[in-house]
Amino acid sequence: MVHKFPPTIEDLRRKRINVPASEIHFFNIIDSLSDEWYVWHSIEWFSDTERRQGEADFLLFHEQYGFLVAEVKGGIIFAEEDVLKQQNTRTGKVKKLNKSPFDQARVSMWNLKNLYEEIALQEGNSDGLLNSYDQFPLSFAYFVYFPDSYFKQRRTIRYDHKKVFDRTDIEDQETWVRENETGRSPIEDFLISLLDRFEHSREYKPDVKEFFIDRVGSEIGQVMNFKQYYSLREEELERINRVQDFLIQSLSEKNRCIFKGSAGSGKTYVAMKKAMRLLEEDKKTLFLCYNRELQDAVREHITKMTNKDYKHLKGRLDILTIHKLIKISLPYITTVYTRQPIEEELFDNFNFTPAIDALSDNFSKIPMDYKYNAIIVDEAQDFEQEVWGLLSQFLRNIDDDIFYVFYDRSQAIFVSEFSPEKFGMNEKTDTIVLKRNLRNTVEIADWLKGETEYGKYDEYSGIYGFNVTRREFDSIPNALGTAAQFIKKRYYEKGIHPRQITILGTKRLESIAPKAYTSEEGTFLKFHDKKISNEPFYIIQPDHLQEIPMILGSEQIEPTSYASYKTIRSFKGLESDIIILIAESLEDVKQKQPDTYEDYLMDIYVGASRAKFKLYFFEYHQK
């Protein structure tokens, strides 16, 4: 049976709102094609040279014959003095078609051919993918599909009837199905006849099939699906916003609450909503998290939503890391001489014990102005055990003030043990479980569950995207180089913004890339490779993502000549539209380091679950 993308009508409707009945009709009729056919629905192409873009209803590919572009148009289509018109079958209303479906299909055909050739040349395998003229080696054609029209019964000079499949042909197809005929169906005969018109110049190459399906099929659909994804996601998030608002309102009288949920279940968004609600109620609030990147992201989101600069919120809503909170507190309980070794242990060795001991012994010295009416702890599973019992003491009234904790045991990559009871909570009576994955597409959520066994969801987002791309590399440099090429060629040149893409790794960039160099601004890996870009391209590991604009200016790097790299642990709690996760092969770790395999799987789960729309998993083999 034909391979369709998406595979079913249900998936088609999830992917695109209000699919025309004529396109559904075509989607069904091609079920009679053999399994040598591959069909993509609703694709968008871009021409970088002509600065044009367009959309084709269907792209069909056959490994031996070539590809076709189909433009589908419902209603009664007819030509009047060579002008195409469309009559609504329900109302009878007639209108002139602003765009000729023949021209739309033809232009899309040429641009998709050019796209194939462009990607093939970038791949560096022109002998296996192109003919001697560096062109697509098989046949290519276009046609129109008019399911409601007897278009060919009215002869016209301008429009080639050999490129039309209309109601008459559909009746032949229906007869073929009804009478259980064998052999090729009328629709398949029609498609092959179009491609055979150019069989004299056709040159079969075995590499073309896999390349067209895996590379071109992915390339042509991705930007289109981004746009559709954002449309669906906005609708979904609007509904989720109402649910979250209701949840927060219903818990308004509850001062102690634990929110438990897997990655992507909306914990941080609920936490931020609660913080903004407390801000409106004029309750002095501390929003606490573990890492600096999450702190910056929460500040950015809340200042955007409240339309207020953080310096104007500070003092009413403090958004801090646990390290920053302790540093602010130390001057009240230590001297200059005793403070320095405590801070060195805290920031250089991540050892909380000396600071916690000092706070525990002298907490009464902390001024009331540095205490809060409410504390919200996000990613609580990251906090050291010594911190848990201390946090409630930052409340002005421990019994009556608000204390909300958000956590996921599956992401406890910094500590070996986590228990909400240590925060003074009762897990049985105070827990709210967030059971739906709101971040990832269905494909990513399925992959997470299947590969890592983490991520327990009762429901998925309902948003479909692309399958996870998994590739193996014989070295880390090859994996990093391919990531750079993907980002520049597949995304930046198609209009995707650098902030939408992040490369994640299990280790810091300087430890896996010998050619990386470090400056005050961060760590840099520079590429001089024409396959990536005519200009130098950089993978940048900044100390903090907010510093990227400053780094680009000081290093004189073009805005689309870099990609951000972060370790999984430093990116924890954040998300990105596209994640390229570079990590040692799961099988290698399992075989060579079985004692660490479960921890490694948890790291992969945390990193991969950052991807909202598209996930690449690049595994490398250590030599």
Model confidence at 5, in pLDDT bands (50, 70, 90)? confident
The per-residue pLDDT for 51 is 38
Q: What CA–CA distance (Å, rounded) separates 310 from 599?
A: 37
Instruction: Give mean pLDDT, residues 236-247.
Output: 67
Look up tokens 């000081």; give the residue.
Answer: 554
Q: Is the pLDDT of residue 372 over 90?
A: yes
- What mean pLDDT value characterizes the chain? 86
User: For residues 503 and 580, is the Cβ–Cβ distance under 8 A?
Assistant: yes
Model confidence at 230, in pLDDT bands (50, 70, 90)? low
Residue 336 in any domain: the answer is no
What residues are paired with 145 via a beta bridge? Answer: 72, 165
Residues 117 and 12 in one domain: yes
Q: Is the pLDDT of residue 534 over 90?
A: no
Residues 12 and 69 in one domain: yes
Query: Picking from 112-116, 278-282, 388-392, which range would have the lowest pLDDT averaged per residue?
Result: 388-392
The per-residue pLDDT for 298 is 95
What share of the chain in percent tops pLDDT 90?
Answer: 46
Mind spelling out the 3-state secondary structure of 483-538? HHHHHHHHHHHHCCCHHHEEEEECCCHHHHCCCCEECCCEEEEEECCCCCCCCCEE
Residues 219 and 265 in one domain: no
- The conformation of residue 372, written as its DSSP 8-state character, comes to B
Q: Is the pLDDT of residue 223 over 70?
A: no
Residues 284 and 304 in one domain: yes
Q: What are phi and psi of 86, to 5 degrees?
A: -130, 130
The per-residue pLDDT for 236 is 60
The per-residue pLDDT for 48 is 42
Q: What CA–CA distance (Å, rounded) separates 147 from 22?
A: 6
Q: Which residue has the higher pLDDT, 2 or 419?
A: 2
Model confidence at 186, in pLDDT bands (50, 70, 90)? very high
Residue 551 in any domain: the answer is yes
Instruction: Give mean pLDDT, residues 171-180.
Output: 94
Q: What CA–CA distance (Å, rounded) separates 514 from 9?
A: 49
∠ Cα 263 269 275 (to 5°)? 135
End-of-domain residue from the set 376, 401, 434: 434
Residue 320 in any domain: the answer is yes
Q: Is the pLDDT of residue 200 over 80?
A: yes
Residue 240 in any domain: the answer is no
Residues 170 and 29 in one domain: yes
End-of-domain residue from the set 434, 459, 487: 434
pTM of the full structure: 0.68
Give the domain extent around 568.
442-620
Residues 425 and 452 in one domain: no
Residues 544 and 583 in one domain: yes
Q: Is the pLDDT of residue 285 over 50?
A: yes
Residues 495 and 379 in one domain: no
User: Which parts of 307-416 fold into alpha helices (H)?
Assistant: 310-313, 322-329, 336-348, 353-362, 385-391
Instruction: Give mean pLDDT, residues 246-253.
Output: 75
| Amino acid (1-letter code) at residue 76 | I
**Kind and range of the H or E element at 87?**
strand 83-87
Look up tokens 């002005």; give the residue.
Answer: 396
Instruction: Give mean pLDDT, residues 553-562.
Output: 91
Residue 248 in any domain: the answer is no
Residues 217 and 322 in one domain: no
Largest CA distance in the chain: 96
Mind spelling out the 3-state secondary structure of 413-480? CCCCCCCHHHHCCCHHHHEEEECECCCCCHHHHHHHHHHHCCCCCCECCCCCCCCCEEEEECCHHHHH
Q: Burial, 227: exposed, middle or buried (Cβ in 10 Å; 0-12, 13-18, 19+)?
A: exposed
CATH number at residue 320: 3.40.50.300
Residue 342 in any domain: the answer is no
∠ Cα 381 383 384 (to 5°)? 120
Q: Is the pLDDT of residue 374 over 90?
A: yes
Q: Is the pLDDT of residue 86 over 60?
A: yes
Q: What CA–CA distance (Å, rounded) separates 347 from 292?
A: 12
Token pair listed for 53: 């873009």
The per-residue pLDDT for 49 is 39
Helix %, strand %, coil % for the chain, to 5?
45, 20, 30
Token pair listed for 89: 């079958």
Q: What CA–CA distance (Å, rounded) separates 60 from 108?
A: 12
Helix, strand or coil, per DSSP, at residue 253: coil
Model confidence at 504, in pLDDT bands (50, 70, 90)? very high
| Amino acid (1-letter code) at residue 429 | T
Question: What separation, in Å, do the N-terminal and C-terminal C-alpha atoms of the chain show?
Answer: 42
Counting the structural domains of the chain, the total is 3
Residues 99 and 7 in one domain: yes
Token pair listed for 51: 């600065």
Residues 164 and 293 in one domain: no
Instruction: Give mean pLDDT, residues 3-30.
Output: 84
Plot region of 229 (φ>0 → left; ψ -120 to 50 → alpha; else → beta): alpha
| Amino acid (1-letter code) at residue 455 | G
End-of-domain residue from the set 414, 434, 454: 434
Instruction: Return the number of other C-beta atoms located less than 10 Å from residue 262's C-beta.
Output: 25
**Kind and range of the H or E element at 579?**
strand 576-584
Token pair listed for 179: 């009478």
What share of the chain in percent tops pLDDT 70?
Answer: 89
The per-residue pLDDT for 410 is 79
Residue 584 in any domain: the answer is yes
Q: Is the pLDDT of residue 171 over 90?
A: yes
Quote the radius of gyration of the chain (alpha carbons, Å).
29
Instruction: Give mean pLDDT, residues 194-217.
Output: 87
- pLDDT, tens digit, 9 for 90 and up, residues 90-125: 899 999 998 899 999 998 899 888 888 877 886 667
CA 438, 577, 210, 477 dihedral sign is negative
Query: Would you mind telling me the total number of residues written for the chain in this entry?
Result: 623
Indicate the angle between helix axes 353-362 and 336-348, nearest 10 degrees.
Answer: 140
Instruction: Return the number of other C-beta atoms located less than 10 Å from residue 88's C-beta.
Output: 13
Q: Is the pLDDT of residue 237 over 70?
A: no
Q: Is the pLDDT of residue 2 over 90?
A: yes
Q: Is the pLDDT of residue 550 over 70?
A: yes
Residue 345 in any domain: the answer is no
Residues 484 and 543 in one domain: yes
